[in-house]
Amino acid sequence: MSSKATERLSDIARWTGQMPQSVLALYALSRRILPVRSMLSLLLALAATLAFAGGSVPSSQQIRFRAIGAVVAQRTFSLAGWEWSALGQKIDMWRRGQAGQLTVEQERALVLGYIEGIRRIRQAEAQVNRLVSGTQQSAELDHARDELASLRERQQGRRPFVETVIQRQVGEMLTETGLGIGGYPVPPVNFTFTEPPQILITSPRDEIRNVYTQMLVPDIDSAEAGDKESAIEEQANYSAYITKIGGLGAYPTMVVDSTNIVWLFSTVAHEWVHNYLTLFPLGMRFGTSPELTTLNETVADIIGDEVGRRVLARYYPEFLPPPETAQPANRQQTSQEPEPERFDFDQEMRETRLRVDALLASGDVSEAEAYMDQRREIFVANGYYLRVLNQAYFAFHGSYATGGASSSPIGPQLQELQRRKTPEDIAGFLHTVRWFTSGADLERVLEMTSP
């Protein structure tokens, strides 16, 4: 090899890291059979390839991640593309400004009409499904499809106006609680009704920990989800779980159509909290550890539920759930037969999670998985049709510390902190937790504010 060629190779090696011997051998071969210009092109291509590959043997985890990526290839969701399109629609609606001319009663009617439209679309979809699976005449099926298309078109026409109304109502409540500047919440409440992407969660089998997350397209059905979960478990030896989500903290945020008005306003406010927290340390660290993910999600749950309740109390009081009333501890027994105990999903799920944690901690992976299968059957028998109950399920749902799938103390701790700051002081609570960078910060503040 000539000295000039060696110098060139050394230069490229300095760009990309030390080249392996196989590359040097390939260079020597190419020098004999390729002209100089082609040889240099080959070297540059090899250098670029090594730069992206890292020039080293991939780790076992990287190999697993590549296997997972291959399973869900062609079914991933482009968030950037969606946001670009959604922002364009929001700007167009802002320019038109028509929703700002409505009275409070007209706004109420618009929102309630949209929710009724969702209900009618669900009924029409069910009718089409019944006809498709049956032996009905094609003319009847065609009529049902036309009716469904008409309902969807009508719903799509009023969707931007309904979004604007809900954004104003939630934003007004946030500003009143002290979470705004100059009469406007920061950042502005901005969401769109859409079918959010589904999400893939994977966890090691011997512990509950989210190690790989991927957004997938919305139209993956249960059968396809099960096939992909099985393929991931077989090829990567990870527990896998694919599920729909109710919203996503993009900008604008995504919120799925729902006839549940309580859930709707709570979710819009929940997703706004995520956008707000991205401006502060707590949100900036979202996803960097299970503990910080749980902190973020639980704060959003607490604030979202309270803001949603206040919006309902002002604009839709007939839908406000009654406050929970505690039963007296010493209530007298009656002569009536006691009512059968109601299946408490959260309590049963928390019991399941704690038992699974204990089994995995002792290394009994197979026993833990068998136990989760048995528990899933119990949930299904009581009307909770869980398709999957595994480590990845808990890795996802366990990040919401106020739910039964979590074994984290963060939920009760945050609720206690909110009580100490008084439940009415939403801004004070959020202004405190937004600076947290770990669970230790929460424990420190609780110690400082102990009664």
pLDDT tens for the chain, residues 1 to 451: 444 433 433 333 333 333 333 333 333 334 333 344 444 444 445 454 444 444 456 788 888 999 999 999 989 988 888 778 777 777 777 776 655 578 999 999 999 999 999 999 889 888 876 776 555 567 788 888 888 889 989 998 888 899 999 999 999 999 999 998 888 899 999 998 987 788 999 999 999 999 999 999 887 877 788 889 999 999 999 999 998 887 676 788 888 888 999 999 999 999 999 999 999 999 999 888 888 888 999 999 999 999 999 999 999 999 998 865 433 333 333 334 444 568 889 889 999 999 999 999 999 999 999 999 999 999 989 988 888 899 999 998 886 655 665 667 888 888 888 888 776 788 999 999 999 999 899 999 998 877 6
Q: What is the pLDDT of residue 403?
A: 63
Q: What is the pLDDT of residue 135?
A: 55
Tally: H helices and E strands in the chain: 17, 8
Q: Of the residues 162, 184, 206, which one is the last residue of a structural domain?
A: 184
Number of domains in the chain: 2
Domain that holds residue 129: 99-184
How many angstroms separate the CA atoms of 346 and 394, rounded? 13
Q: What is the pLDDT of residue 136?
A: 54
Token pair, residue 427, equals 């801004």
Catalogue the E-assigned strands of 205-244: 212-216, 238-243
Report CA dihedral (433, 439, 440, 445) to the nearest 10 degrees.
30
Q: What is the pLDDT of residue 406?
A: 62
103 and 47, same domain (yes or no): no
53 and 103, same domain (yes or no): no
215 forms bridges with which residues in the sheet?
199
- Beta strands 184-185 and 247-248: pairing type? unpaired
Q: Is residue 325 part of a domain?
A: no
Q: Is residue 124 part of a domain?
A: yes
Class of residue 314 by CB neighbours under 10 A (exposed 0-12, middle 13-18, buried 19+): middle
Q: Is residue 45 part of a domain?
A: yes
Q: Is residue 220 part of a domain?
A: no
User: Could you tell me which of 430, 164, 193, 98 has the C-alpha nearest to residue 295?
Assistant: 430
Q: Is residue 427 part of a domain?
A: no
103 and 52, same domain (yes or no): no
Q: Is residue 19 part of a domain?
A: yes
Q: Of the residues 155, 184, 213, which one is the last residue of a structural domain?
A: 184
213 forms bridges with which residues in the sheet?
201
Residue whose pair of structure tokens reads 């959010």 in the numeric block: 196
Q: CB–CB of 128/141 below 8 Å?
A: yes
Q: Is residue 241 part of a domain?
A: no
172 and 122, same domain (yes or no): yes
Token pair, residue 300, equals 């959003």
User: Could you tell me which of 319, 303, 298 has the C-alpha nearest to residue 177?
Assistant: 303
Q: Of the residues 57, 72, 90, which one is the last residue of a structural domain?
A: 57
Please state whether the predicted TM-score (pTM) of the whole model is above 0.75. Answer: no
Q: How far is residue 19 CA from its own chain's centroid? A: 41
Q: Is residue 253 part of a domain?
A: no
Q: How far is residue 54 CA from its own chain's centroid? A: 31
How many angstroms separate the CA atoms of 161 and 106, rounded? 11
How many angstroms separate the CA atoms of 209 and 289, rounded? 9
What letter does residue 399 receive in the DSSP assignment? T
